[in-house]
Structure 1
Amino acid sequence: MSLQGTVFSRRSFLGGVAAAGAASWLPGCRSVCSGKGPCSKFGGVQVGVITYSYRSMPDKSAEAVLAQVVGSGVSSIELMGDVVEKYAGASLEKVAELRKMYADAGVGIHIVKFGNIGDKGCTDERIAYYFNVAKALGAKAITREISEEAAKRVGPMADQHGVKVAFHNHTQINAITYDGPILSYGKNLAINLDIGHYVAANEDCVLAVIEKYHDRIFSLHLKDRKNKANKGANMPFGQGDTPVVEALQLVKKNKWRIHADIELEYPVPQDSDAVREVAKCVQYCRQALA
């Protein structure tokens, strides 16, 4: 399935988004967001960003990350766990303060990433803490890398806490990975499908994977990688082989409640920064969902 000819040319659109710069927000979208701050919900699809995208920015404090997110025009995020822990430590009251600070700026936190949840060295107490942090943030899911051993351990706890644990992929999965038992260990185990990494590793169409597992996919990671035959390089949106446009439109068409989170991995140009580049990606997604 290709919608490039009927909607817009992915390459030609780059000229339009280049002018976006570090857009603050889009007032015309406020009716579907909180009514304040940025809005990145387009056509019923919540576009967000994983805050790992701002790793090249010098200030990594919670306050700075919030300013970066707002500067990119994003209203919902996957927040890296280290940002939370540096701000709040072990205090759930401080976690709630962080949530309020972000909410007051119009930014929701739908996922928090704790990459070691369920690992052998992660105690049950630590896992419970992660779930409690997620709830204090208002997050509906925690993300980590795919691991069946972790799934066995956290599945029952995810059900107990009512918070999903969504598994992220790099290039290690294929079209039948989730046919296996990994999601069977708890009804709140889910998928954080990185479509760019999938395209770089496989020859089949990632859109079919989205359709197949849509009821277990909590979020997509959006990046535009070249395919396996083209060495899998990370490219600016519209220059790779990943069907970002088609994936977004598939979610929109079916009204699936799947978050679509930008993960900036292509090299940031010398005359730009991560805030501006994420803003370009947001505008690309907005146009795709128009």
Structure 2
Amino acid sequence: MKNRREFLIKSALGAAGLVAAPAWLQGAPALIKSYNKPNSLINGVQIGCITYSFRTMADQSAEATLKYVLDSGLSAIELMGDPAESFAGKPANPVNMREMYPLLAKQRRNEELTSEEKAKLADMSDQAESYAKVAAEWRNKVGTAPFEKLRKMYNDAGVTIYAFKPNAFGVNATDEEIAYGMTAAKALGATHVTLEHPSNDAHTLRLGKLGEKYKMSVGYHGHEQETFTFWDTALEQSKRNGLNLDAGHYIAAGNTDLITLIEKQHSRILSMHTKDRQTPEHGKGNLPWGTGDTPIPELLNLIAKNKYKFPATIELEYQVPEESDAVKEVQKCVEFCEKALA
């Protein structure tokens, strides 16, 4: 395991150009610090991605995830909980999330599950519930040192972590679990944590107040239930509550006022998930960028023109072609952003 981890770290740093740097450069720390590192701050717009985008890749370790990010040309990310927590020593999850994610997505879209899929999802959900208790015990003991180590590894390779999304903020989570998630996020260098909007006013109030206590902002993510007023109650409850807006889902929900929403709430938008989805009239598909109805170039240029501070987070959700992989598709999304902001 140690040799494997060292190999992956070297591979990740190699992608950043640090392992194979010439001898003269290796003796110049000030130059090494910025040598051949990714820079996805384009025309003032921070392009990032949520590492959920790499869920179909075989290796889900923190070291492999870093290499995926570097290979995609990204310098900032929203980090999912699993890679960070496995790095920090969390007990392994018995549930194969690569199998569970598609079933959950299908259920969320109100698509009919087969009897076999229903049984499989129910079994996985039971296992996940039992595992949650084991994870909670670990979280109460882990501390922040492993997350600080992970932050250094990513930062040294040229990648900052602006958001953290562990499964620690649910309605049934204890205050201790929530505190863990927020302090771990701070140790990683994140400005905010993200979670699915719970549709529970008491819980958004609770999270907002705990965010105030731990000086950590909370970004609420939505799917097709997003509306212009979807986040209003949470925003009124606490200055630490904000939007983890999903522009693609907003379009697929049939809304036509996305630009107006961004202009109104830009100071409360912590990050914006970016994907190309179709309107209901066109089928709500999740498509390769440039072929759907999300006005991605317009959104990016709106951020640039008005100097909004929130990052545009690539979320790869369309079907990855058989001859490709998630890293190659994220690369295409980055290139799309570069052309849009040229």
What SS does structure 1 have at the residue aligned with 2:203?
Answer: helix
Q: CA deviation at 1:209?
A: 1.3
For 1:232, the equivalent position in structure 2 comes to 284
Name the TM-score, length of structure 2 as normaliser. 0.73
Distance 1:82 1:223 in 2: 22
1:171-217 Cα deviation digits (max 9, x unpaired): 011112233x2212211111010000000002413111111211110
Distance 1:256 1:250 in 2: 8
* Native 8 Å contact 2:226 2:249 kept in 1: no
For residue 20 of structure 2, what is the aligned residue in structure 1? none
Q: Which residue of 2 aligns with 1:138?
A: 189
Q: Which runs of structure 1 show a deviation greater than 4 angstroms over 4 or more consecutive aligned residues? A: none
* Superposition RMSD in Å: 1.5
**Cα distance in structure 2, aligned partners of 1:243 and 1:150:** 33
Q: Secondary structure at the match of 2:60?
A: coil
Q: Give aligned-pair identity as a percent.
A: 46
Q: Please tell me whether residue 101 in structure 1 is matched to residue 153 in structure 2.
A: yes
Does structure 1 conserve the Cα–Cα contact (< 8 Å) formed by 2:194 and 2:244?
yes
Structure 1: tracts of 5 or more residues without a match: 1-23, 26-33
Alignment partner for residue 191 of structure 1, among 239, 243, 252? 243
Match of 1:58 in 2: 58
Describe the SS at the equivalent of 1:177.
coil
Indicate conservation of the 8 Å contact 1:174/1:202, yes or no: no
- Aligned mates of 1:74, 1:124 — CA distance in 2: 34
| 1:115–1:143 contact (8 Å) kept in structure 2 | no
Matched, 1:265 2:302: no
Please, which moves more after superposition, 143-152 or 69-78? 143-152
What is the match of residue 253 of structure 1?
305
Q: Higher helix fraction: Structure 1 or Structure 2?
A: 2
Whether 2:125 is the aligned partner of 1:126: answer no
Distance 2:55 2:158 in 1: 22
SS of equivalent to 2:226: coil
- Separation of aligned partners in 2, 1:169 and 1:149: 17
Distance 2:206 2:255 in 1: 32
Alpha-carbon distance between aligned partners in 1 of 2:167 and 2:302, rounded to the nearest angstrom: 29
1:152 and 2:152 correspond: no
Question: Given the superposition, is the C-alpha separation of residues 46 and 167 from structure 1 closer, same or farther in structure 2, using an over 3 Å criterion?
Answer: same
Whole-angstrom CA distance in 2 between matches of 1:235 and 1:120: 32
Q: CA-to-partner distance for each residue in 1:257-287, whole Å, 9 max, x for gaps?
A: 0110000000111111100100110011111
Contact 2:227 2:255 in 1 (8 A): no
SS at match of 2:267: coil
Give the stretch that moved more between structures: 82-91 or 106-115.
82-91
Whether 1:217 aligns to 2:269 is: yes
Which residue in 2 is equivalent to 1:75? 75
- Quote how far apart the aligned CAs of 1:161 are: 1.5
Provide, for residues 139-186 of structure 1, a one-character-per-residue CA deviation record: whole Å limited to 9, x for no partner. 00000011333211111111121111000010011112233x221221
User: How far apart are the structure 2 equivalents of 1:143 and 1:188?
Assistant: 12
The structure whose RCO (Cα within 8 Å, separation 6+) is larger is 1
